[in-house]
Amino acid sequence: MTHPTIDDVVRAAHELWPLGLQEPWDASGLICGRGSRPVPAILFAVDAVAATAEEAVERGAGLLLTHHPLLLRGAKFLPDSSDKGAVIHKLIENRVGLLAAHTNADSAVGGVSDALIRACGVEDAEPLVDAGEPTGIGRVGELPEPLPLEELARRLSDVLLPTAGGLRVAGPRDGVVRRVAVCGGAGDSLFDAVRESRADVYVTADLRHHPASEARERALLQGGRPYLIDCSHFASEQLWLEAAAAELRGVLAARGFEVETMLSRLNTDPWDFVVRPEAHPGSASTDALAAEYPGQRG
Ligand SMILES: [Zn+2]
């Protein structure tokens, strides 16, 4: 068996995660790399940053495949003294290509949101946007058994890579959830679709105060659901890398190519630690503080 070239990998990747599925503002695809260069190994990571570029070089990857595009907002200059330019120089000078599969991989079957909803315990899911279609952004489906909200959050916390911020949950700990909606990465633009889907809980990342607060206020008018689980953006998407690597290896193997796939060992969540209030002297827990200033929504 021979190694695929960068072009061979790109063709296989776009069969799994067709570029036609990406959002109009997105910039997925081959960012740099010589198409004819053979690729013995591919490193999968969420982010193309200095550390993952370095990792790709050190581990002998011929291609770094990331979820996030490096140049999403466009670039006019890429000197090595700039953050993005340093990544591009590191990769090109070491003959490593860079391929991004972003919203095309969010929408595709077996993509980022499929990995996230499976981690919640839902096997059969449909897109949250474009319900009934095979592909689309987000996913919604039913747990085999109803679960308390806190248990679902703990289940997720057990499978997500640990990050400083952990998970934040809005809703009662014992609130029963069965129908789960998810969107890997920042999902605060999908609240209308979440409400329409009649999900009991919405799992996503990067929820800011106003979208989250308004979603909870509206939910309270209808019995309190959907509850919210806010995870690390990085961790919610990192889940997909293993499945993506296996799928891509499979498509390439079917074409007679042999390639090693590796997952990044780095945590590229930008947050390093959190500081929590020490509620009362001698207590490491915030429960006492929570009792003093109870949530409005029990
Ligand atoms: Zn993302």
Say yes or no: do domains 6-105+237-263 and 109-231 share a fold. Answer: yes
Query: Distance from the CA of 221 to the center of ligand 1, in angstroms?
Result: 31
Mean pLDDT by 10 residues, the chain (298 residues): 96 97 96 98 98 98 98 94 98 98 95 96 94 89 98 97 96 98 95 96 97 96 96 97 98 98 97 84 56 62
Question: Which position has the token pair 């911020």?
Answer: 165
Query: Distance from the CA of 143 to the center of ligand 1, in angstroms?
Result: 25
Q: Residue 298 has what pLDDT?
A: 47
Ordered DSSP codes for 90-128:
HHHHTT-EEEE--HHHHHSTTSHHHHHHHHHT--SEEES
Query: Distance from the CA of 192 to the center of ligand 1, in angstroms?
Result: 20
Condensed to tens digits (0 to 9), the pLDDT of residues 182-240 reads: 999 999 999 999 999 999 999 999 999 999 999 999 999 989 999 999 999 999 999 99
Condensed to tens digits (0 to 9), the pLDDT of residues 143-160 reads: 999 999 999 999 999 999
Quote the tokens at residue 185: 């990465």
Query: Distance from the CA of 114 to the center of ligand 1, in angstroms?
Result: 14
Query: Distance from the CA of 255 to the center of ligand 1, in angstroms?
Result: 30
Q: What's at 155, amino acid-wise?
A: R
Query: Distance from the CA of 13 to the center of ligand 1, in angstroms?
Result: 18
Query: Distance from the CA of 87 to the center of ligand 1, in angstroms?
Result: 18
**What is the 8-class DSSP label of residue 210?**
H
The C-alpha angle 220, 221, 226, rounded to 5 degrees, equals 50
Question: Which position has the token pair 């009649």?
Answer: 198
Give the separation between CA 186 and CA 81, rounded to whole angstroms: 29
Query: Distance from the CA of 69 to the center of ligand 1, in angstroms?
Result: 9
Query: Distance from the CA of 171 to the center of ligand 1, in angstroms?
Result: 25
Q: Of all residues in the chain, what percent are helix, strand and coil, respectively (each to 5)?
A: 35, 20, 45
Query: Distance from the CA of 137 to the center of ligand 1, in angstroms?
Result: 12
Query: Distance from the CA of 38 to the center of ligand 1, in angstroms?
Result: 29
Q: Is residue 152 a contact partner of residue 177, using CB atoms and an 8 Å limit? A: yes
CATH of domain 109-231: 3.40.1390.30
Question: Which position has the token pair 């990465």?
Answer: 185
- In order of 98, 152, 198, 227, 232, the CA distances from 167 in angstroms are 31, 11, 22, 13, 7
Query: Distance from the CA of 47 to the center of ligand 1, in angstroms?
Result: 9
Question: Which position has the token pair 């498509």?
Answer: 251
Give the separation between CA 175 and CA 156, rounded to whole angstroms: 16
Query: Distance from the CA of 103 to the center of ligand 1, in angstroms?
Result: 8
Mean pLDDT across the chain, nearest whole number?
A: 94
Query: Distance from the CA of 285 to the center of ligand 1, in angstroms?
Result: 32
**What is the 8-class DSSP label of residue 20?**
G
Residue ranges of domains in the chain:
6-105+237-263, 109-231
Query: Distance from the CA of 55 to the center of ligand 1, in angstroms?
Result: 20
Query: Distance from the CA of 269 to the center of ligand 1, in angstroms?
Result: 11
Q: Residue 288 has what pLDDT?
A: 59
Query: Distance from the CA of 256 to the center of ligand 1, in angstroms?
Result: 32
Strand partners, 202: 181, 228
Round the CA-based radius of gyration of the chain to a whole number and report it.
21
Ordered strands of the 63-66 beta sheet: 29-32, 97-100, 63-66, 41-45, 260-263
Residue 266: Cβ-neighbour burial (10 angstroms; 0-12, 13-18, 19+): middle
Query: Distance from the CA of 151 to the center of ligand 1, in angstroms?
Result: 25
What dihedral do alpha carbons 200, 130, 234, 279 form, nearest 10°? -20
Fold of 6-105+237-263: 3.40.1390
